[in-house]
Structure 1
């Protein structure tokens, strides 16, 4: 029996279609503008390119040093992702599976932090990083992002871990396993779907992170993708080489688009599963 669609179903579908168009259209516009000349761009911003200028991409790669910034981003995102995901999993396990005095108080303080704007911690963090001589360093940025826990990820993974049966740990303890052995050999393998979900969200957040690298990195040779493209945008008031700028934007979008295309199903399934089990 076919489902009956109501008027509101049609309205929601129309709204979702308009939302999708509002996201896709600017990307398509930037793409075809990156294949034009500056003269053609300033003459008519809506005209399609007559002669495709692939040289804009090589020019953007060399002029904006996108290769170096990609390597910096790979180092920053890769190490932060591995270390941060491990620490988030460890923290979620300790707060949901290990019984100790003050656990509920810690959870309460973590929930309270949701009401505090993250910008409030900016000045104390900067003073701490400067005191420890970790500014203008990708490694210092990795330490800041890895040890600075994200409450959303902690809640997401904590809800997933809470659903696992307690009998597994009790059996491991009876066999002589330590807390860490139980965590690493039993909890982590069973929590792989939730951990992968958190890792995907962390990757997207780290790759698109701008504020942290912008504040802490002063050496252009250490810029990540976000800061590098911001500096390229600042040059437009002097050069007005917009088509090269658009080509650079398309290049830096490719990794995140590919990542999302391959993992979009895992993102939706994992996020839904984590919220349901929490």
Structure 2
């Protein structure tokens, strides 16, 4: 039976449409402004370009050394994503599927950390990284992000793993499988949707991470794309080449947009996957 559409439904749809426009419009504006000349930009920031100046993108790529920044970001994001996702999977399995003394206490400590602003850990983290000689190093950032477990990711994947039937592990042990074999051959395949969801969220978080690379990296040759574009923005005090900056921002958005377009269903479903299945 088809459900009747009520005025409240139309109201919510209108609000969602307005919300979508507020998100899409800045992106569209950025794209067409990046194809203008600086003269056209300063004359009227809302007008369309008289012709498409694709050379702004080439200039941004070369003058801001975006190729090097992209490679740095690829190394930082790629390594952190693989290592961090593996550690999150191991932690979630240990805290949800294994029974040991003190497990509930550890979960309680993890839940308590939700009430602590992350900025509070900034100074002790920096002192620790400095003493270990890991500042101004992409590898140091990878270690910091990989071993600094996020409670959100742990709860998301842990909630998914808790929904898996325990009989599967018991049957594996009866067949002589070790703890690692149970984890690798039973839990990992069944938890793939949750792991993929966590990996997508981790990628978006790592790619858009600005604060840590900005604090720990002092060598411009090691800048990630976020820090690189911040420094480019600082140059506008002296050059005012805004259309080139907008072209650089448009280039920097491409990886995130591609990931979101390809995995939008997993992203939308992932926010509730642990709650629904757990």
Q: TM-score range by the shorter chain?
A: over 0.9
List per-residue Cα deviations over 1:153-202 (Å, max 9, x = no partner).
00010010011111111122222222112111110011000000000000
1:1-278 matched pairs, under 5 angstroms: 1-278=1-278
How far does residue 3 in structure 1 lie from its aligned partner after superposition?
2.3
Q: Unaligned stretches of 5+ in structure 1?
A: none
Report the count of equivalent residues: 278
Greater mean alpha carbon deviation, residues 265-274 or residues 192-201: 265-274
Contact kept, 8 Å, 2:61 with 2:67, in 1: the verdict is yes
Distance 2:40 2:155 in 1: 51
How far does residue 10 in structure 1 lie from its aligned partner after superposition?
1.4
Distance 1:199 1:73 in 2: 16
Distance 1:123 1:169 in 2: 43
Contact kept, 8 Å, 2:81 with 2:199, in 1: the verdict is yes
List per-residue Cα deviations over 1:19-38 (Å, max 9, x = no partner).
11111111111111111110
Distance 1:135 1:156 in 2: 31
List per-residue Cα deviations over 1:208-253 (Å, max 9, x = no partner).
0000100100100000010000000011111100000000010010
Distance 2:246 2:156 in 1: 36
Contact kept, 8 Å, 2:156 with 2:273, in 1: the verdict is no
DSSP 3-state at the match of 1:250:
helix
Greater mean alpha carbon deviation, residues 142-151 or residues 2-11: 2-11
Distance 2:186 2:171 in 1: 11
Distance 1:51 1:167 in 2: 65
Distance 1:177 1:247 in 2: 55
The Cα RMSD (Å) is 0.9
DSSP 3-state at the match of 2:261:
helix
Distance 1:254 1:44 in 2: 26
Distance 1:219 1:60 in 2: 20
